[in-house]
Amino acid sequence: MQDVSGRKDAFISGILSGLIDEMQYSVISNNLFVNGLLESLTVHLLRQYADTRAKIKLRSTLLPTWKLRRVLDHMEAHLAAPFDLDSLAALCGMSRFHFSRSFRTTTGQTPSGWFMQRRVQKASEMLRKTNVPIIEIALEIGYESPSHFAQVFRRVTGVSPRGYRKM
């Protein structure tokens, strides 16, 4: 609802005056009359001051939690496979465009950006915890070219895989 506290609204003033009069001066207030005034007030407030478009639009562009979880689990399980936007959208029963927009609105990242970020996180863990050669790490997380892996890793972390391992 918009803030209406500083506005003068004759309709609201009239209804509130009617409610006050009914409740103060009637020995037995008429519930039907009071409910009618309250419903009129509610309808007026919604018609005049509700900002329904923004909330409906925001809700409709968010990816439901169960769909997001399904997609994230799928991407996590298939980090070594090529990124496939069509299969992710199909998991949610959505078009590519609508899925991408909803994913980005929900997570703040594009689906491919999240996928790339997660691959780099996994590579970082492997570089820290194992002595597996960098080329094998690249292949294990889905990069066919060690130079492409190094380029992506550097873009995300700011250092090369070799430099990261030395740190």
Decide if 75 is inside a domain.
yes
Tell me which residue of 87, 147, 77, 158 sits closest to 118, measured CA to CA. Answer: 77
- Compute the C-alpha angle 143/109/60, nearest 5°: 135
Taking the chain (167 residues) in runs of 10, the rounded mean pLDDT of each run is 61 84 72 83 83 58 91 95 95 94 94 95 94 93 92 93 91
Decide if 127 is inside a domain.
yes
Q: What pLDDT, on the 0 to 100 scale, is given for residue 160?
A: 93
105 and 66 both lie in a single domain: yes
Q: What pLDDT, on the 0 to 100 scale, is given for residue 41?
A: 84
pTM of the predicted model, to two decimals? 0.63
The tally of domains found in the chain comes to 3
Q: What pLDDT, on the 0 to 100 scale, is given for residue 93?
A: 94
d(CA 154, CA 163) in angstroms, rounded, equals: 10
Q: What pLDDT, on the 0 to 100 scale, is given for residue 55?
A: 56
Q: What pLDDT, on the 0 to 100 scale, is given for residue 122?
A: 95
Handedness of CA 58, 64, 65, 70 (dihedral sign): negative
What is the domain range of residue 66? Answer: 59-109
Decide if 142 is inside a domain.
yes
Q: What pLDDT, on the 0 to 100 scale, is given for residue 27?
A: 66
Q: What pLDDT, on the 0 to 100 scale, is given for residue 1?
A: 39
Q: What pLDDT, on the 0 to 100 scale, is given for residue 50?
A: 77
44 and 16 both lie in a single domain: yes
